[in-house]
Structure 1
Amino acid sequence: MSTPADRPGHGSPAARALDALRTVPPSAGAAVMATGILSMGLRLTGHGVLSAIALTVATVLWLVLALAFALQLACDRARWQASAANPPALTAVAATCVLGTRYSLAGRQPLALVLLAVAAAAWPWLLVSVLRHWKRPVPGVAFLVCVATQGLAVLGGTLALAGRGDWLARAALAAGLLGLVLYVEALARFEFRQVFTGQGDQWVAAGALAISALAASKLVASPLWSGGAHQALRDAAFVLLALDFAWYAVLAVAEFVRPRPGYDLRRWSTVFPLGMTAVAALSTGQVAHVRWLHGVGSVLLWIAVAAWLLTAVGWGSRAVRRVRATA
């Protein structure tokens, strides 16, 4: 006769896996963002095989997280709604946009359009929910209001360049401008001591500027803009990239002055800005024909790859310890 512990749902491996999925935090979406942006950077620097591997990993992670969020919605709606009121929930939008952009670059336009539709459908509801519950001061993760919005701009601009309609370029411009407004709002609320005390998400302050620069570079590449508009977009891309570099330097120095070793899930929110800064430099250098930016972006990309590997090892080690603890 079987005991409750032997039955599905009562301690079996399948039940434990389902329980683990139900408790996945929204901030885990940053792992998809980090992996997806590295795939884009590796593609831009000619490392096709590594880029494809990273894309596969990002896709698998996205599917796992989508399943986790669906289970949470079905099994614990109150908890899901509470999570949706916090900025980490916006990683779902940003991760979907990053993945969609990478698939668009690979020529998978129908899939990229589907991912854009998914992100665009989730974005207004999550954004309003987060903004309604904002308080002062806010940690670095609050800059995700900008990142998610600029993610739509990047994906829309990429699809416009792939010939999917000029309206996408115009929508990307609108999203990009809104993203900058949201960045200023987040900056006004940001607790600046997080630069020295944050456990990883303080880097999103730089990552938000990096993705804004990337969005601007996509618009610069569009034939829709010419003359003064084109020059303004080009200047904006350079200014945003310069501000991103400044934040990058400040945060790097802070990490050196006050080291924070050890794994924390929020470290995926460090890897993403590192990779996004590299990709923004590579993309801006490409569309603006500034060759030295390619060299800078390439160096920054490998720094991001190293950070990804260290964070992945920490994540894996913690997962192994949890499995052993529950075995």
Structure 2
Amino acid sequence: MAQKPMHQNALSMIVRSRIRHLNPGCFALVMATGIVSIDVSQHGMTLLAQALFGLNLLAYAVLLVMTTLRLLHFPRELLADFVSPGRGAGFLTLAAGTCVLGSQCLLVVPLRRLADGLLLAGAVSWVGLVYLFLAATITARIKPGFTRSINGGWLVAVVATQALAVLLVLRTASVSPPNAAWLFTALCLYLLGAALYLLIITLVVYRLVFFPLRARDFTPPYWINMGALAITALAGSLLVQHIPASGSLAQLLPFVKGFTLFFWATATWWIPLLLLLEGWRYAWRHVPLRYEADDWDIVFPVGMYTVATYELAQALQLDFLQVIPDVGVYVSLAVWLFFAVAGVLRAFRHPTVPT
């Protein structure tokens, strides 16, 4: 009988440790699972897409509860992460993950009311987190060096902005006729996300090129260099498809088409470079290959590129591009499955290690 309380205490300590050290970017799991679900749904794998939606809804609820408990019981640790330039941007995955889950509610399962709630929650969290993070970073009295502050994770600000634009376009397009004011808002978010990308990627590339980079410092968030472009291309493609051919916004369609293709082409350019750097990290520098919570920052860009290419091919009527998502859907699903299995195995082998 005495063993039962001991096991309960041990389990309580493990849960408490995981909450206390919860990764600020933990909602990247929701982003990755959501986009892979949408990806397989586009290719007719309905049951698998719905299963991933159910799993994602559960993951979102669990992570939301854990984040709330961390705020209530460990506010100092949470605040320290939030004001840290190198980690604070990870909190924006909450806004991005909320919007990706909302998009699932429109594309994978018919849950329009839940999508409305997630749209509102995503918008509120986006406004609060983006401005609070930037304000905290700007006004911090003690700041770490440039190389310890900037990384690809900052581009989650772009992903969150475009995820909100995507959900807003999808929700607006679900009613007829679409509301021009909401489409205009989505277009403004799309352009804002594009502007943020150009600003932040300049700093990221400057850090990569002109400062020494250790192999262990090339972390998974650098894949967001490509993922932020891919979701920008997705938002633009959806705008092209759903902005009416006649009306006040129609005259902007050629501009949106060109800009969207520009971002998709740049996302494509990033992929070989990122693969080369991964080879340098693991094959040349022999960094140990082990699961980290940030690994979901690889899954999301891979899945997002596939979904974005699928929509771009339809928006610009480029049928020859369809071969990319036809192959990419299996690649993104395989990458998701690989990290899911790795995460489960690591959780069982190292139950007290924070994720």
Both structures adopt the same fold (TM-score exceeding 0.5): yes
CA distance in 2 between partners of 1:165 and 1:109 (Å): 16
- Structure 1 position 195, deviation (Å): 10
Q: Does 1:23 align with 2:18?
A: no
Return 5+ residue gaps in structure 1 as ranges. Answer: none
| Conservation of the 8 A alpha-carbon contact between 1:37 and 1:98 | yes
| Conservation of the 8 A alpha-carbon contact between 1:199 and 1:264 | no
SS at match of 1:25: coil
The match for 2:95 is: 93
Identity in percent: 28
- Structure 1 position 300, deviation (Å): 1.9
CA distance in 1 between partners of 2:74 and 2:297 (Å): 26
| Conservation of the 8 A alpha-carbon contact between 2:40 and 2:46 | yes
The match for 2:110 is: 107
CA distance in 1 between partners of 2:329 and 2:104 (Å): 16
The match for 1:171 is: 185
The match for 1:247 is: 270
> Superposed, which structure 2 residues align to 1:199-278 within 5 Å?
199-224=219-244, 226=246, 227-259=250-282, 261-278=289-306
- Structure 1 position 75, deviation (Å): 1.2
Please say which of residues 78-87 and 36-45 is displaced more in the overlay: 78-87
Residue 152 to residue 324, structure 1, CA distance change in 2 (3 Å): closer
CA distance in 2 between partners of 1:30 and 1:113 (Å): 21
Please say which of residues 81-90 and 137-146 is displaced more in the overlay: 81-90
| Conservation of the 8 A alpha-carbon contact between 2:169 and 2:186 | yes
Amino acid at match of 2:298: T
- Structure 1 position 258, deviation (Å): 3.4
CA distance in 1 between partners of 2:278 and 2:17 (Å): 35
The match for 1:83 is: 81
| Conservation of the 8 A alpha-carbon contact between 1:84 and 1:126 | no
For normalisation by structure 1, the TM-score amounts to 0.91
| Conservation of the 8 A alpha-carbon contact between 1:195 and 1:251 | no
SS at match of 2:9: coil
CA distance in 2 between partners of 1:198 and 1:324 (Å): 25
CA distance in 2 between partners of 1:238 and 1:188 (Å): 20
| Conservation of the 8 A alpha-carbon contact between 2:56 and 2:101 | yes
The match for 1:192 is: 208
Residue 11 to residue 168, structure 1, CA distance change in 2 (3 Å): same
Q: Does 1:119 align with 2:122?
A: yes
CA distance in 2 between partners of 1:41 and 1:230 (Å): 25
Please say which of residues 71-80 and 84-93 is displaced more in the overlay: 71-80
Residue 147 to residue 195, structure 1, CA distance change in 2 (3 Å): farther
Return 5+ residue gaps in structure 2 as ranges. Answer: none
For normalisation by structure 2, the TM-score amounts to 0.84
Amino acid at match of 1:280: A
SS at match of 1:33: helix
- Structure 1 position 79, deviation (Å): 2.5
Residue 18 to residue 165, structure 1, CA distance change in 2 (3 Å): farther
CA distance in 2 between partners of 1:206 and 1:145 (Å): 13
Amino acid at match of 1:251: L
The match for 2:5 is: 6
- Structure 1 position 14, deviation (Å): 4.6
**1:60-104 CA-partner distances (Å, limit 9, x unpaired):** 111111001110111122322333331000000000010101111
CA distance in 2 between partners of 1:255 and 1:213 (Å): 24
The match for 2:154 is: 142
The match for 2:194 is: 180
Amino acid at match of 1:268: W
CA distance in 1 between partners of 2:182 and 2:165 (Å): 9
**1:131-168 CA-partner distances (Å, limit 9, x unpaired):** 23167341111111111111111111111111263322
Please say which of residues 93-102 and 289-298 is displaced more in the overlay: 289-298
RMSD between superposed Cα atoms in Å: 2.5
| Conservation of the 8 A alpha-carbon contact between 1:213 and 1:284 | yes
- Structure 1 position 225, deviation (Å): 5.2
